[in-house]
Structure 1
């Protein structure tokens, strides 16, 4: 399924659980905390994630409650760490400014921006679901070393992302060519951008990249021999060339790193500390692109990560 409109039923292998437990043992012990997980959707879909989190942090107490069953936030114990999933849960949390320290997952940066606006609540951190722009651009440059002009479609919800992309691209000798796509039923904006760029980079904007737009985007871009990078593993399976992404295991690592810190040190938002890469060999062959294995791509990008 393309896009991130509904929470996925995450799975974690026994090997990953063991790896997470090993990671926990290597960490400096911290004071035990009450970890309360919640979502506006079906809380049972969080069970796998909750089980994995409990395995990774056996000293903590992990509980799961549906959002409509949550107690008043000012009545929660002082050591509670609230872990919310999805944009509706983020919006709900904003109604209680005096709530406990909160981490929010399964929200992309465009969704968070739409919900938060200019607000930066204290002790609230959003773990953006988006692939980190720098990683996506480095992946693009590795696969397409001759590309210089990176085409990016945006709408009012994602226009603010262009500045971050331009900053990241300038460090790599790339130029971002931005094009507004106000009506996704009309492909003229896509055709115009293709003529002004060497490759398309997709941002995590569900209004632009979804099952209804996938056919237009993919057929139009590949009709002009342009690769599409991103925005997610699901879109790569549907026909884009490649993307970095973070799975449940990666988010557990990032989440655990934050939980080991006092909430005062949490960033207002962060990308996953770790990641994986997925490529589409069939698309690569059609475009005449040499595509290394997913593992090789991940190793190459990892070498350039800033500690």
Structure 2
């Protein structure tokens, strides 16, 4: 048999180099690169800023925003798209179609999901909770008010479903949940009754109970009774409650980045951000004779506690 020619060896060597280069390029290319589509009923500077921040965080992906009115039915979008919904109208649009791409619903509260029962049941939808986890809020109380044992909780028809879970989280902490229904927010008697039987008030993220119209009555009653209000969110702390845990845009970007790194089949049905912060109102603490909340230290303690089983 004739020996291979020098030209044949050169050809094989060149082919091998090209194959090796192609393999290196394929290995270097991110396997999870995807079309990431954000949508909401209305565009805004905030929406555009968030979209741009996510695009900077994921340069390997194609991240875009399209107003809801410009989108086809969900089932007509490419199945490879990663869809992120930014408001409730876009969620209503998504729930109308059983088909369509995997979908992340950003910043939806437990109460809002309860009002949209199809959201938790949809096979292609994952919910990213906006309200602070109940267990985390209770642990916050034990950190900043260690003597408090009776946790007063105002609830309404829409938020009553949270009470069993709240009691479940309170039991291991030796806390007692003292519930009080408040159907008529113009009537202060339920509020006064609850304050007389509680050590601290924990606010649920229920906008029927905690809103600009009720804030004055709630906060003035809290001061008058020298009873702290914890929660329901960072905005209410700025208005005059004592403290709360919360997640900001950086935390939301982090959870999106983590989820988008995984195949949608591995996305959880619902999830809270892993990262969070604590906000306290120093003026309120002083007026109630309570030690000022060390926000960074308390957040670190809570996070460490959640890492342990």
TM over 0.5: yes
- TM-score interval w.r.t. the shorter chain? 0.7 to 0.9
1:44 is displaced (CA, Å) by 4.4
SS class of match (2:296): helix
Q: Is the 8 A contact 1:43 1:64 kept in 2?
A: no
Q: Which residue of 2 aligns with 1:62?
A: 63
Residues in 2 aligned to 1:186 and 1:90: alpha-carbon distance in whole angstroms: 35
Closer/same/farther in 2, CA of residues 179 and 117 from structure 1, 3 Å limit = farther
Q: Which residue of 2 aligns with 1:102?
A: 103
**After superposition, what is the alpha-carbon deviation per residue over 1:69-102, rounded to whole angstroms, capped at 9, x for unaligned?**
1123222222101100122221221111112110
List aligned pairs for 1:214-253, cutoff 5 A: 214-253=215-254
Residue 36 of structure 2 corresponds to residue 35 of structure 1: yes
Q: Which residue of 2 aligns with 1:3?
A: none
Q: Which residue of 2 aligns with 1:283?
A: 284
Moved more, 200-209 or 117-126: 117-126
TM-score (normalizing by structure 1): 0.87
User: Aligned residue pairs: how many?
Assistant: 280
SS class of match (1:105): strand
Runs of 4+ aligned residues of structure 1 deviating over 4 Å after TM superposition are: none
Residues in 1 aligned to 2:132 and 2:45: alpha-carbon distance in whole angstroms: 26
Closer/same/farther in 2, CA of residues 128 and 73 from structure 1, 3 Å limit = same
TM-score (normalizing by structure 2): 0.87
Unaligned runs of 5+ in 2: 1-28
Closer/same/farther in 2, CA of residues 276 and 118 from structure 1, 3 Å limit = closer
List aligned pairs for 1:120-199, cutoff 5 A: 120-199=121-200
Q: Is the 8 A contact 1:87 1:115 kept in 2?
A: no
Unaligned runs of 5+ in 1: 1-27
1:292 is displaced (CA, Å) by 3.3
Residue 114 of structure 2 corresponds to residue 113 of structure 1: yes
Structure scoring higher RCO (CA < 8 A, sep ≥ 6) equals 1
**After superposition, what is the alpha-carbon deviation per residue over 1:198-242, rounded to whole angstroms, capped at 9, x for unaligned?**
100001111111100000111112211110000111100000000
SS class of match (1:304): helix
**After superposition, what is the alpha-carbon deviation per residue over 1:137-165, rounded to whole angstroms, capped at 9, x for unaligned?**
11111111110010111111111111111
- CA RMSD after TM alignment: 1.6
Q: Is the 8 A contact 1:87 1:106 kept in 2?
A: no
SS class of match (1:305): helix
**After superposition, what is the alpha-carbon deviation per residue over 1:97-128, rounded to whole angstroms, capped at 9, x for unaligned?**
11211001132110111012685111211111
Q: Is the 8 A contact 1:150 1:177 kept in 2?
A: yes
* Larger CA Rg, structure 1 vs 2: 2
1:197 is displaced (CA, Å) by 1.1
SS class of match (2:168): helix
SS class of match (2:274): coil
